[in-house]
Structure formats: C-alpha cells, structure tokens
Amino acid sequence: MATTKSDQKNVLLFQPHRLLSDHNLMECLQITKEKGIPKYVNSELNSSELNKNFPKLPKEVKDVLLIFGKEKVALLKDDVQKKFTLQRAGVSYEVYSKAAISRRLHEHMERMKPFATLVKWYHKIPGEKGSFKTAPGSFSTFKPKLEFEVVKNGTGLQLNTIISINGTPYSLGEFSRWQFLLLSGNEYFILAFKDYQTLEWLKENDPNQYSHQPNELGENILAKLETDYPVNRNNLFQKNELRITPVNRVMLSEISQSFLVLTPQWDYDGFIIEGPWKETYDITRNGQSFAIYRNQQDEKALWQLLEDLHPNFSKQLNGYYYLPFEEAQKKQWFLKVYHKLLDLNIQVIGMDMLQHFRYSQHKVQADVTIKKEVTDALVLHMIISFGEEEVSLTEVQKIVQAGQRAILLQDGSLGILNDEWLQTYGTIIRHGKISGQEIQVPRWLAFSEEESADGSSVLKPTLHNTWLEKWQLWQKDGETVYEVPSVIQAKLRPYQQKGFEWMLLLAEAGAGACLADDMGLGKTLQTISVLTHQLHIKATQRHLIVCPSSLIYNWSQELQKFSPHVKVLIYHGGNRSIQDAAMGDYQVIITSYGTVRQDIEEMCSISFGTIVLDESHNIKNPAAQITKAVERLQSGFRVALSGTPVMNNTFDLYAQLNFLLPGIFGSREFFRREYADAIDHRRDSDKIKTLQRITAPFVLRRTKEQVASDLPAKTEMVMWCEMSMAQKRLYDEIKDSIRQSVFLNIEQEGLNKSKLAVLQGMLKLRQICNSPLLLPSEEQTCNDSVKTDLLMNELQNNLKDHKVLIFSQFTSMLDLLAANCREQGIAYYHLDGSTPPEKRQDLVNQFQDPNNTTNVFLISLKAGNAGLNLTAASYVILFDPWWNTAVQQQAIDRTHRIGQTKNVFAYKMICKDTIEEKIISLQQHKKQLAEELISEDEGFVKSLTEDDIKYLFS
C-alpha cells in the first residue's frame, strides 16, 4: 500500500555523540510508518533538503541550521587548519582543533537555540552493546549553571558537581554529557563554553587525588573554582582561625565634594573588615579558608569613639559618619580629630583624596643620626619637620605606607613629602619600626642606599670602608678580590669567578646571597668553591646543603669531582644519624628539604658555618612547614640557589630573602601590601624600581646569553636521579627475577643463545628507570618516576624561557611526558616514527621560529636521528641515554651544528644504582667498545662477556 503524506513526518535528527568524531551533528530525517513500525530515512542537511522538508521556515532560521551541514562543517575544519598553521599554536593539531572546532560549534548552537522550537527534533544516541536509540528530543531554553560542593565520602573528601537549572540543583551524574551538551531524558541543555572547559579541566586534574589532602584540594582545585563558581565547603575544611587584636583604621573620603566621610575599618593581619559586628568573618584566599574572629570590644570602642567626635554622628546609622566640610572645619574640628586619631594609634587613610585644604609653604626636613647597631638592624634618631613644626614619625610612616604624600599640619595646611625627600628617606620610613623619635631599620638597606643630591647617605657609613673598597673592586672587570682555592679541581670561568667572589663578599659583610644563574652555568661549582674557601679558613666548620631529594646524589658527585678532599655526609634515609651530623668527622652535610622538616628539632641545635638551599623556590611559601623549619637553622652565612627565585609572583621572593636577610621586608602583610600586590596587580613602576634596588646587592643572576663568550660551544653533563623507595623496590624485585632467569638461560643454552634474553631484561630495567608505567599493567606496583618529576621541575622552573629538545628511545615514554606537559600547562611539539614526513618539517619550522613561544620538543631518539636542524634549542635532555654513544651524539647534534649561535647544554638523565649507571661505567671502562658500537642494540649485547652481564644485573 502506498504511503500517504499524513504517514510521513519530516524532522531534524540531532546526533550529539558526533561531537567526538566527525562533528556532523545534524541531518534531515524522514519518518514513515509501515504497519505501525517507523522507518527512518536519513538525508544530508543542505538547502534543498531544508526547502523541501521545511518550506515554511524563515530564511534566517534556515541559514543558522545550514551551518551544521556537512559542507559547512568541512569548511569550518579547513579554516581551523589554516589558523593552526598561521598561529603555530604550540600544541598538536589534534588538541588545537578539538578546542577550536568545539568553540565554533558551541557558538553556532547558541545561535540556533532560540529557533529550536520552530522545528521538530529527533535525536540518535548510543545505547548498550553498540546499538543506537532514535527518539523525539528537544532543546531547553534554560541556561544550566555550574556549582560545586565538597562532601564527606568515607574517610575522604569528594567534590560533587551540581548543575543548577532554573534554580533547581541536579547532580552532574543525572545527565549524559557530550562536551558542552547535557542530556536529561530527551531534553538538551547547552553549557556555557567556560563551564565545559571547567569540567574538562576537572577531568584532567582529578580532585579525587586529593581526597585525603584537604589543603592540597583547597589550593589546587577549589581555589581555581571559587574565582568563578559558588563552592559549598560544608564546613569540612579546617579553617585558619585568626584571633588577634585588630588595627583600627578610619577611611577618609568625600561625597559630592561637599561632605567629609569617616568610615571605621579594622585590619586583621591584612584582612580589612568594615560594617556591623558579627562574630566571625569568613573568607577564602588562595584556596585556604580563614575564620577571622572579630573583636567586638575593640570594634565597638572605635564605633563609640567616632560617634563621640560630633553630636550629629549619633543619629547616623549608615556604617559611616559624615559632615559638611564647612562644619568639619569650624574651630579646627577636623584638625583636632585627625591628630586625636593618630595619637590613639588609629590609622587614617585617604587623606590624599580630600580636596579642601591649602598646602604648606615649608619644605619637609629630616635630621637623622645613627644611635647603635643591633643584630640585623640599625637604630636611628630621626626628627622630621615642616618649618618650626615637628611631626610624628608614626604619622609620617602611616602616610608613606598608605602611598600618600600629604600630612595635615597644625595650621590646617597640608605638608607635602616631595620626590627628592622620599627617595632619600622613603624606604627607611616604610621599613622602620618606630618608637618615639627612634626608628629601627634592617641593616641590609645600607647595601642598596642611594646617595642624596648632596652626595651624603644615611645608612652607608655603617659599612666598613675596607669592605666597600672590595665591593667597588669586584665591580671592575679583570680584578681579583679572592683567589679560588688551589685544591678545586676546575678552572672557574670569568663569570663563575665573579659569582664566587660575590658570595664571599656578602659572607664577609654578614649578609646572605641568592645566586640565580641560568641552568647549566655552574651554580654548584661556584658554591663548592665558596665552601672550600671557607673550610680553608676554618677546617673545623661544618656546612649544610639542603636540596630536593632527587638532587642529593648530584651534590655528592660534584663535591667528589671538584673538591675530593672534603669529607661529605649524606644525611638522608631511614638509617641517618643526627650524631653523625652534629659530631661526626664531616665538613659538608647534604640533606633534603623533607629530612630538615622532619628533624628540625635536632638540626636547629647544630651551628653551621654556611647553609646552602638548592632550588630555593621550595621555601617560597612563608607559611609552609619547611620554610619555618629552615629559618630555625643556625648559620653564619646563608646561600640560596635557584634559576627562578620568582616563579609565580613577586611574593615568591619574600620567604627566600627573609631566610637570607632576616627582617629585610618586615611582616608578610607589609611585603604583600608594599610590594607584591602593587607590582603584580598594578605593575607599579616605582615599587618595581624600589624592590629591584633593595634586592640587587643580594641577588646575582646571569643568563646564558649574557655570559656566552665565556662558555664552550657544547657542554655535556649527567643529571643524576635518585629513585623513590617504591620505584627502587620495584626495580630491585624485577632485577632479581631477571637475573635468575638470565643466568638459568646461560647455564642451559650458553651465552650466545641467551643474548636475546639479556637484551630483553636490560630493556625492562631501563623502562623502570624511566617510569614503571611503561611496564604491563599487572607489573605496575607503583607509578613513581623520579626522572619525570625532575624533568617537569626543570621545565617549569629553570628552563621555562629556553628552547629544549627532549629525546627518548621509547615512544610510549614520550606519550607519558606529553601527558605530563599537558597537566602542567607546558606547550610542546611531539615527533616520533608515526609523524608523517611532511608534518616533521612543519614542526621543525615552527620550533625554529624565533617568535614561537613553544619551547619544548619531544622527539624519539631514532625518528630525530637524521635530517633535523633544530638550532633554536640551547638545551638537550637525553631522558634515557643508551649504550650507543654515536646515536646519543647525533641527537645532541640536532641542535649543535652549523647555524647554531647559542651555547648548547646536554644532560643525560641517569638513575643512580641502576643498570643505567652501570652502562655509563662500562662505556668508560671499554672506551674502544663504546666507539666501535654498531647502531643496533644487539651489537652491544654481542660484545658483552658473562662477567659484564653479571655486573649489569648486580
């Protein structure tokens, strides 16, 4: 029987799952019924099908729908491909295109949504066992919103994602999701694109990994979410409780240039609170929860004080008090109130904003004398005056710290603190602790003090003339201030000599030093030279080196290499003895940050000559336990080593410099208010210059480019890696198993027939050195990878501004490194055997472009072995060096070749006490063998004796 028109239905078919494949989301669908059974006929979404099936649709609606046609989607993809090529995006095309195409389709979906009700929709979605379900569907006009809550799940915490629709909350689990599309029942909701990106970010940064680490959950997950979304913490987090006496403040302002306004405020350790009293003020900052217990008595006292200042104020209940300026100036009311507030130690803020005062005719004057020196500070006697009127130091400090320049004088005029005066005295006033006419300032300010216009200085006279002469001599090229000890087994390059002398100069002056040279410039050698010099002066001293545990062996090796006579103790691990560290016959003690944190009660009683913090950004958080621990250590001289002392923001400097120069920046909140916020948030150029001037004597940074003339063309080094206990345990277990199997094979089959088993065993051990994740899943008893951790740390911290080639023999290892780069937000290129030849040159061209900011290139050792010219790179990392030194050299020469204008640093990452170290040893003992190796791995194995094999698996 023929199908009648009434039996036929024309609809649009929506296929959300295709967002994850070919992006062809829509088709036309003709539905007919034969004997009550629906029959579906799909057709392409194009103009002719739309006109035929939906003749009454307005043209603008058809135009919007046609964007989802196959032809238009293909054009969209072509456009994305062109932009990717032009922009050199710095990520793989797959990653770039996914984001770009999704964003464009999201925009089109939002355009389409208002017209969705004008047509009938069916949708086709995946079902069970590969089947699909086709049914009527629709698009909601409601906009879903993201919210989050933290709940208790057993003994841990769980982050739940909530979708709020028209004010009703639903769990994300109640929806099916394809990127930005949510499906509930047969109804679709379109997430904001930012919300979709947030959900993807949560997938990549699984909050469950912090389920038993509430602080890390708050810092790494919640802090980022709370900037954009409501997050209900359900009181599950331990709050940092603040119970202190607040600093009373009064904010001055004006309304319509006619009324003076006084607003009471309270400063609770940097948290500024105003408004009616309530017991606690809850706030989240940087993912940490704070409960500030407000002091009702103190706050009420300030309210009462202000209310008593004028009869009108008792009638005003707005949270502030106001008077017409004319009334405020009667009988010098405001002048008296201003000084009364200051006398009561109440900060007065906002004076510079008031425009109803004349300026004093007198210039500011200062009379300063140095009274005495105490530990790390100078005590000054200081009188500041305008004409005959002396003004309070406390009053001036409050004005200066508030960033103001006007101070209210007794005659009702404003005294101005001019630029020249502030240049001479501003830093002293800001950093000082005041008591009457005395002001105590960190003595470190003397090192950076600028001379005034008449050539005089306030603090510099406290520095000894003989030291100043050495300091000035050091700043001249070609002059030697200190000789490097003859026992040092290296000749220091000119810039290294300068760094060595600079540290000794600061040690002589009783200051600390932050050496911040680029990676590869020899911070370790310069420091060892300093320690050796100090031991030459006093051999009975003991010095302490604190570093990440992964670098302990590097320090041990470098000391053995450059200063082999020095007696070294590695104070780390379960068998460490505090008696050895305190009383043993050792001159240099090497330990880890974790060990210091655990043993601080015992270690703080030991007196060290010098303390060296390597990778000192590990103490950038002043509230962290490790920061508090190292500050308790006793020493005469302190050194911080870091290629990046400032990683995220200016505040990173605070704890590191406070360790080196105690008290230089006062309280954390002072530094945050005075420098960090002003620089990071407002890019205040004056604050930047002041901070640079104060820190310049104590921070020495040389880039590779600055000292290029002192460097050889190519420097090759070993980066030693110390496995974690879990990784080493896995390595030893599998090594023992392989050794038994291999020698059973040799016993039964003979050495020649067992070479394949030897090769396979060696391969497996090398994989564990890289990452246990390279093993079959059933053998992965841990996922620790010291090499990955160390590499990511270097890329994030010391190499983030340099172009780096990273080679591995294992393409699966490159995939793991690529995943880590994505997690860390590090842009990269990736080339291995599967990369098409035409794509290879395109990647190389992008990496070589000097304007390209993608600095990391992951390359398989064999794929990158020929035809690649990568001279833009200045660092080469061999993630898993192999016995074939020729192949390694070819990898390094991808960058060190004709056309290279930079100095190249090449690092081999070697796991200590593993087959990798033994291969290095065999290379050194069998130099001829290493030079004559053939390319294939088997060539090396064929040359091994049974004794060599025993050594490798020992």
Q: How confident is the model at residue 545 (pLDDT cuts 50, 70, 90)?
A: very high
H/E run at residue 147: strand 145-153
- Give, in degrees to the nearest 5, the angle at Cα 682 between 681 and 685: 130
- Give, in degrees to the nearest 5, the angle at Cα 402 between 399 and 407: 20
User: What is each CA distance from 719 to 713, 786, 820, in whole angstroms?
Assistant: 19, 11, 20
**What are the residues facing 252 on neighbouring strands?**
262
Tell me: pLDDT of 249 over 80.
Answer: yes
The pLDDT of residue 255 is 85
Q: How confident is the model at residue 455 (pLDDT cuts 50, 70, 90)?
A: low
The pLDDT of residue 933 is 40
All structural domains of the chain with their residue ranges: 5-139, 145-232, 241-350, 364-443, 464-710, 715-952
Per-residue pLDDT averaged across 841-849, rounded?
A: 83
How many CB atoms sit inside 10 A of residue 674's CB?
22
H/E run at residue 1: none
Per-residue pLDDT averaged across 859-881, rounded?
A: 76
Q: How confident is the model at residue 89 (pLDDT cuts 50, 70, 90)?
A: very low
Query: What is the rounded end-to-end Cα distance, in angstroms, of the chain?
Result: 85
Tell me: pLDDT of 90 over 70.
Answer: no
* Within this chain, domains 464-710 and 715-952 share the same CATH topology: yes
The torsion angles phi and psi of 309, rounded to 5 degrees, stand at -75, -25
Tell me: pLDDT of 1 over 90.
Answer: no
pLDDT in tens, 130-165: 788 889 999 998 999 999 999 998 888 999 999 999
The pLDDT of residue 343 is 78
For residues 713 and 118, the model is more confident at: 118
CB 491 within 8 A of CB 562: no
Per-residue pLDDT averaged across 736-756, rounded?
A: 75
- Which of 572, 568, 546 minimizes the C-alpha distance to 557? 568
Tell me: pLDDT of 300 over 50.
Answer: yes
The pLDDT of residue 204 is 84
Residue with tokens 């603040």: 242
For residues 188 and 686, the model is more confident at: 188
Q: Which of 12-26, 77-91, 669-683, 709-723 holds the top average pLDDT?
A: 12-26
The pLDDT of residue 720 is 87
The pLDDT of residue 667 is 86
Tell me: pLDDT of 705 over 90.
Answer: no
Per-residue tokens: 350: 């906002």
- Radius of gyration of the chain from Cα atoms? 35
Q: How many angstroms separate the CA atoms of 59 and 299, rounded?
A: 66
Q: How confident is the model at residue 415 (pLDDT cuts 50, 70, 90)?
A: confident
CATH class of 464-710: alpha beta
How many CB atoms sit inside 10 A of residue 216's CB?
15
Sorted by sequence, the CB contacts under 8 Å of residue 672 that are 6+ apart come out as: 270, 651, 654
Q: What topology does CATH give the domain 715-952?
A: Rossmann fold (3.40.50)
Tell me: pLDDT of 565 over 50.
Answer: yes
Dihedral angle over CA of 870, 89, 80, 176, nearest 10: 120
Q: How many angstroms separate the CA atoms of 270 and 675, rounded?
A: 14
Per-residue pLDDT averaged across 821-842, rounded?
A: 83
3-class DSSP state of 457 = coil
- Which of 823, 827, 891 minimizes the C-alpha distance to 857? 827
The pLDDT of residue 597 is 94
Name the percent of the chain lying above pLDDT 90: 32
Q: How confident is the model at residue 899 (pLDDT cuts 50, 70, 90)?
A: low
The sheet that has 156-165: what strands, in order across it? 168-171, 156-165, 145-153, 231-232
Per-residue tokens: 950: 């025993």
Q: How confident is the model at residue 943 (pLDDT cuts 50, 70, 90)?
A: low
Q: Which long-range contacts (C-beta less than 8 Å, at least 24 apart) are formed by 799-802?
A: 799/519, 799/643, 799/855, 799/875, 800/644, 800/855, 801/855, 802/518, 802/519, 802/704, 802/855, 802/874, 802/875
3-class DSSP state of 82 = helix
Per-residue pLDDT averaged across 814-843, rounded?
A: 85
Q: How confident is the model at residue 626 (pLDDT cuts 50, 70, 90)?
A: very high
pLDDT in tens, 903-940: 788 888 999 889 888 887 777 665 554 444 433 454 55
Q: What is the mean pLDDT of the chain?
A: 85
pLDDT in tens, 875-885: 888 898 776 66
User: What is each CA distance from 394 to 337, 342, 370, 390, 407, in whole angstroms?
Assistant: 16, 8, 18, 12, 12
Per-residue pLDDT averaged across 797-824, rounded?
A: 87
The pLDDT of residue 209 is 83
Strand spans (E) along 691-824: 699-700, 714-721, 804-808
The pLDDT of residue 897 is 54
pLDDT in tens, 481-539: 899 999 999 999 999 999 999 999 999 999 999 998 888 888 999 999 999 999 999 98
Tell me: pLDDT of 630 over 90.
Answer: yes
CB 426 within 8 A of CB 400: yes
Residue ranges of the alpha helices (H) in 639-702? 652-660, 668-671, 677-680, 685-695
Q: How many angstroms separate the CA atoms of 930 and 8, rounded?
A: 79
The pLDDT of residue 953 is 76
Residue ranges of the alpha helices (H) in 182-274? 193-204, 214-217, 223-226
Q: How confident is the model at residue 740 (pLDDT cuts 50, 70, 90)?
A: confident
Per-residue tokens: 823: 């997690």
CB 448 within 8 A of CB 697: yes
Per-residue tokens: 192: 């904001």
